[in-house]
Structure 1
């Protein structure tokens, strides 16, 4: 039985607050995804929209790694909405990048490019170095102009 007590849930929630997408061990992804759902619910009930957005992004990333791209897209879409509500521009750009990755994996290059371009614009606005990675994704998928 998976531990769902306050300690496990708190640890999951704190992990999603410190940094997104720290769910790296594939054999633990399914369990982690279930536990993250509990964390998202806690953030939702408490009204912590920023924590909820970060957790939904983590859930989406786990589904993306499990090759459940359609499911990942749903979680990323909700996370972007919350990032916009709380005006977290970096979180929005990061999640838009993840949305692009999920669309690319789901064989929708046009949607992938659309989301990567939106992320690129935000990262340029912020002067953030992650823009180089997003530009590399765009360059790899779009024909030269």
Structure 2
């Protein structure tokens, strides 16, 4: 249920939060309906909270339309680093089986740079701190990626790499 207009009022914030929580639960239901609901919210969102909630639900539930939505977001916001940080976090915390290869490929993304600590934190930091299943993979591949990234980042910015 869409709010009439975006307002920063306690009641409206609560309604958005409840609606977005419900959307996330629904995303794990029947895939076709979930995909439709998530896509509708993303495309009708008049604020970043609702757009990101739709993306997050799509990624978490591994919905069929998630890649298209993520690409739309990238196409629209790729020049805004702070907005793209949210996108990198969603990519890094994905439960998808190929998340590690995705994280590696995103190191070459047009919006990613090792010279920006926020980009590094949003991709590598989010992967290491918020994706325990992939980070603690039995084969050690999650640890290996972190070691590689910290080694590279330490050459550029030792104080930030130490955090």
TM-score, length basis structure 2: 0.45
TM (normalized to structure 1)? 0.49
Greater relative contact order (Cα < 8 A, sep 6+): 1
